[in-house]
């Protein structure tokens, strides 16, 4: 069965790359909502409506399972989507926060026991303004881990620089945001790259953070988590390794810009 991968733009390609590497025989359909990117500045109601539209489009491609490879959509829209809109008997939609929080707390998502001391102390979160405003990441973390400080940093301008292909500028923006966060939290134990665009400038984050800080990037965690999920839900697994790329933007322009993420242009189709 095909698995959909949805993102507001091209950042989800970092997740898709990890997924295809970990699950080479799985079929995937990628959808970038490039016509409406970026989501980071949009109102929650608009993010929810755009996310629903993207998920519905992937359902029409016969995707039984959709991964929201967009932290903003996961933070702002996923809960209401799952509770108030989705028919879980027919389809499933998963976000990208769960694998990171499981990794940080060493607790399974289904563990609903009270929060415990996990050894986790100070966590820096680098994310889009909408993800930070949602408060979803610290809320879910505090459900599982006690006495943890989360310092969020809204990384304005970073997604835009990456989508434009200006990685030198993006690295400079990343370093500026690390400096702003360290002024508030000088020695974070862990730092989370809470946007799937950010792995493209992971080296800039790593160099700017203290050497003792553990840097958590999402793609490999998401791939491992999906592999475990498919073992428990094998009806979504299988295929021939086929991958299609859809966009709400101009396929030629988007395909060319995708080379920043994939190393070569990608043949996108109009969604």
Q: Annotated catalytic sites, by residue?
A: 70, 195
Q: How far apart are CA 258 and CA 250, in angstroms?
A: 12
DSSP-derived pairing of the beta strands 27-32 and 2-7 = parallel
* 142 annotated to bind ligand: no
* 40 annotated to bind ligand: yes
Q: What is each CA distance from 45 to 20, 40, 51, 55, 181, in whole angstroms?
A: 32, 13, 10, 15, 28
DSSP-derived pairing of the beta strands 190-193 and 149-154 = unpaired
* 197 annotated to bind ligand: yes
* 72 annotated to bind ligand: yes
> What is the distance of C-alpha 111 from the center of its chain?
22
Q: Helix 97-105 vs helix 218-232: angle between axes, to the nearest 10 degrees? A: 100
* 8 annotated to bind ligand: yes
* 131 annotated to bind ligand: no
* 198 annotated to bind ligand: no
* 250 annotated to bind ligand: no
Annotated binding residues: 7-8, 39-40, 71-72, 196-197
Binding residues for substrate are 7-8, 39-40, 71-72, 196-197
């Amino acid at each position: 069965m095909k698995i959909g991968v949805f993102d507001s733009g091209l950042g989800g390609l970092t997740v898709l790359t990890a997924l295809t590497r970990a699950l080479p025989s799985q079929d995937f359909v990628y959808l970038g909502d490039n016509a409406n990117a970026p989501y980071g500045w949009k109102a929650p109601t608009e993010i929810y409506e755009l996310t629903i539209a993207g998920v519905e489009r992937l359902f029409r491609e016969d995707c039984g399972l959709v991964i929201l490879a967009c932290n903003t959509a996961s933070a702002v829209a996923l809960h209401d989507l799952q509770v108030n809109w989705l028919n879980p008997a027919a389809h499933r939609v998963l976000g990208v926060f769960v694998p990171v929080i499981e990794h940080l707390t060493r607790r399974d998502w289904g563990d609903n026991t009270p929060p415990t001391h996990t050894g986790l102390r100070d966590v820096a979160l680098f994310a889009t303004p909408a993800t930070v405003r949602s408060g979803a990441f610290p809320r879910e973390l505090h459900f599982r881990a006690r006495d943890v400080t989360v310092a969020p940093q809204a990384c304005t301008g970073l997604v835009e620089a990456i989508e434009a292909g200006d990685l030198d500028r993006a690295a400079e923006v990343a370093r500026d945001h690390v400096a702003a966060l360290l002024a508030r939290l000088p020695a974070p134990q862990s730092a989370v790259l809470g946007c799937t665009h950010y792995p493209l400038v992971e080296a800039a984050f790593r160099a700017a953070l203290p050497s003792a800080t553990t840097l958590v990037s999402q793609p490999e965690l998401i791939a491992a988590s999906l592999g475990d999920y498919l073992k428990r839900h094998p009806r979504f697994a299988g295929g021939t390794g086929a991958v299609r790329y859809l966009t709400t933007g101009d396929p030629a322009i988007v395909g060319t810009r995708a080379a920043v993420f994939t190393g070569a242009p990608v043949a996108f189709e109009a969604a």
